[in-house]
Amino acid sequence: GESVGLHLPTLSVQEGDNSIINCAYSNSASDYFIWYKQESGKGPQFIIDIRSNMDKRQGQRVTVLLNKTVKHLSLQIAATQPGDSAVYFCAETFSGGYNKLIFGAGTRLAVHP
């Protein structure tokens, strides 16, 4: 079946550094992408989203970049804080899919003081 993302890697960063989490998607028909943050034992929390007609979108301390040519998505977190430690998932969907989300494998972000 279709899949998004890579096997679960871990990204370790120092507090205050910028973090970049990457994701590859496989469905070229996908037109809406979301990044979620999941802390241990909790449900996913929406971070930021982007439509396929955009290549960049910024939020508070976070930026999502979309490269449709290579089907790649990234999440940039500025000035990473210990509270950012969690597993981050990208998810994709397309208009014809009634918002069924396909989740990537996730990346664990570990922020060290």
Please give the residue ranges that form the binding site for another protein (CB under 8 A). 1, 5, 8, 32, 36, 41-46, 49, 51, 89, 95, 98-106
Q: Residue 24 or 78: which CB sits closer to another protein?
A: 24
Strands 56-58 and 45-51: unpaired
Q: What are phi and psi of 82, to 5 degrees?
A: -55, -35
Beta bridge partners, 64, equal 57, 75
Q: What are phi and psi of 70, to 5 degrees?
A: -110, 10
Q: What are phi and psi of 97, to 5 degrees?
A: -100, 15
CB of 21 to another protein, least distance (A): 14
Q: Residue 8 or 20: which CB sits closer to another protein?
A: 8
Q: Residue 34 or 77: which CB sits closer to another protein?
A: 34
CB of 16 to another protein, least distance (A): 27
